[in-house]
């Protein structure tokens, strides 16, 4: 089974403008993040490609996998470790034919049916959320909460990565109900000290997995 990380830090330059994608990746890795996700919704494809290349170079230097959100073309162009598809993006089954067999393919799924469909098509992990209210995604659905997350972790035959408004205070409970890990934006990118914020999240994940 492919190694899916437990702390996916999604770099973002929309909710904050102090740091670039590359700077955020560097700081998150310094703090202990074991996966970086590159997500950029605006700008030209060329700008996105250049930014993703910078992040890929940092991840490669540290031996941390980079997963590109949504954009299969960018992921293929930079040779990232994997790609994450939303429910309205390229079908998982198509993505699996485009990428090398050792690539990590993630999929967002918000219902039991979509979870099973994504797994059947070859997803290596499921991103499920939003767990809490989130401001980083304008079209985010209503929060799913821990009960729905528990159910998804029970039915999914692959790691579940919880996402959406998760704070350091939530991490313990999220992991204890069965999530393999978490994906965060604001909890690192929006914090005054991203490396320290990442360290706190990592510590909570490991505490929950130990108990």
Q: Which residues are catalytic?
A: 39, 108, 137
CB atoms within 10 A of CB 47: 11
Angle at 202 between CA 86 and CA 160, to 5 degrees: 35
- Peptide bond between residue 53 and the one before it cis (omega within 30 degrees of 0): no
Per-position b or e across 5-40, b if 16+ CB within 10 A of its CB: bbbbbbbbbeeeeebebbbbbbbbbebbbbbbbbbb
Contacts of 12 (CB under 8 A, 6+ apart): 24, 39, 136, 185, 189
Q: For the chain, how big is the Rg over CA atoms in Å?
A: 16
Backbone torsions φ then ψ of 187, nearest 5 degrees: -65, -10
């Amino acid at each position: 089974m492919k190694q899916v990380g437990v702390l996916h830090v999604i770099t973002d330059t929309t909710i904050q403008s102090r740091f670039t994608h590359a700077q955020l990746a560097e700081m998150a890795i310094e703090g202990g993040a074991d996966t970086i996700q590159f997500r950029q919704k605006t700008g030209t494809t060329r700008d996105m490609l250049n930014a993703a290349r910078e992040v890929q170079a940092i991840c490669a230097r540290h031996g941390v996998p980079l997963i590109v959100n949504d954009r299969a073309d960018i992921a293929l162009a930079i040779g990232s470790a994997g790609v994450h598809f939303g429910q309205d993006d390229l079908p998982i089954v198509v993505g699996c034919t485009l990428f090398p067999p050792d690539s990590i393919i993630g999929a967002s799924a918000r219902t039991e049916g979509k979870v099973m469909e994504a797994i059947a098509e070859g997803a290596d992990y499921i991103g499920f959320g939003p767990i809490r209210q989130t401001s980083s995604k304008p079209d985010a659905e209503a929060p799913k909460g821990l009960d729905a997350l528990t159910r998804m972790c029970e039915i999914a035959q692959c790691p579940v990565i919880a996402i959406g408004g998760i704070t350091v205070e939530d991490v313990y409970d999220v992991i204890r109900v069965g999530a393999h890990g978490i994906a965060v934006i604001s909890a690192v990118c929006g914090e005054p000290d991203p490396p320290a914020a990442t360290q706190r999240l990592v510590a909570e994940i490991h505490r929950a997995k130990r108990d």
